[in-house]
Amino acid sequence: MRCWRVAAAGLLMLGSCVAPAAAPPPAYSPVRQPGQAVFTYSGELTQGGWIRGRAPSGTLSARLDSQTLVLDRDGNFFAAFDRDAGPSAMLVAQLAEGRTIETSLTVAPRAWNIEHVNVSRTQGKADEEFLAIRKPELAQIAAARAVESPVAGWKQQFIWPVKGRISGRFGSQRIYKGGEAGAYHSGIDIAPGAGAPIVAPADGVVVLAAEQPFSLEGHLLILDHGAGLNSAFLHCATLAVKAGDVVRQGQVIATVGMTGRATGPHLHWSLMWRGARLDPLLFAGPMG
C-alpha cells in the first residue's frame, strides 16, 4: 500500500535508506470522559510487557515514570516495561484543574533463560573499517526509532509476522566464566523456512527499509506503530515496502532470509517502546 509520507518536507537522507524526520508531539486538549478520576488499564504487567489504558478525565499530560505518554482524543495510551524493569512503576496524570493523580504499578519479574558457560568471553576489538560501516547504520536505526507517527497500530491486538519454529527466545542470556554477562537476546527468532512471507503484526509506517544490507541486521525493516512503539524485522531476503509507506496489519512487508550476520534463514522480530526492549510473545500470544 502506497504512499503516505510522515514528513514530506523533512526527510532525512541516511545512506541508502530514507527515514522520516521526527515531528514534535501534537498538543492535546484536556481529556474529557465522564465519571473517571483514575487511571484504567490492562495488559501484561511484567518485565518485557505492556499496558493499554485511559488517563483520568481532565488530564493535560501523563507519564509512566519519566516517559511522557501519547494520549489520543479519548485519553487512551500505551506504555511498556523493559526486560530489566524494576518491581514498580508510576503512572502520573497532570489535570487541567491543577491536581496530580498517581497510580503505582507492580511489575512482575521474569525467570529468564540464563545459561552459564565455563568459558571466557572472547571480545574481538572492532577494527576501524568495520566501525566506519557500523556507525552510520546505528545512526539510521536510532533516527528511525525516534520517529513517532500519527498511526494507531499500538491499539491493535498484534499478530505473528510469520509462524514457524521458535529458535530463539526473548531475554535469554549467557553468563561466561568469571561472571561476565553477554548481551541478552533482544527479540524472538522464528524459522519458518527461507522465502516465507513476513506480514505486518499491526498497522504502522515504514521508518527504515535497508535496501542495502546492514552489516549485522542484513535487510532491516522498522515499522513505527505510533505512541513510541516500533517493530524491527532482521535478516530479510527481500523487502516489499519502502520508507514512508503506510502498511496495514497482515500486509506482506518482506520475506524471510539470512542476510547480515545469521547462521540460517529466520526472522528476528523485536519490539521497542521509548528504548525499552519488549517481549513479542506478550504481544502476539501463543502461536496457533
Looking at the chain, the whole-number percentage of residues with pLDDT higher than 70 is 86
- C-alpha cell of 166? 521458535
Number of H helices, E strands in the chain: 2, 21
Q: What is the pLDDT of residues 43-92, one digit of tens each?
A: 999 999 999 999 999 999 999 999 999 999 999 999 999 999 999 999 99
pLDDT reading at 254 higher than 80: yes
- Which has the closest alpha carbon to 250: 169, 165, 157, 179? 157
> Which residue has better confidence, 9 or 116?
116
Q: Transcribe 120-166 into DSSP letters.
A: PPP-PPPPHHHHHHHHHHHHHHHHHHH---S--GGGSPP--SS-SEE
pLDDT of 10: 32
Q: Please state, in angstroms and rounded to a whole number, the distance separating the CA atoms of residues 24 and 32.
A: 23
Q: What is the pLDDT of residues 11-46, one digit of tens each?
A: 333 333 334 444 444 444 555 555 578 999 999 999
Say which residues have a Cβ less than 8 Å from residue 252's Cβ, sequence separation at least 6: 197, 198, 199, 240
Q: What is the pLDDT of residues 257-278, one digit of tens each?
A: 999 999 999 999 999 999 999 9
Looking only at the bridges linking them, the beta strands covering 229-239 and 267-273 are antiparallel
Q: Global pTM?
A: 0.85
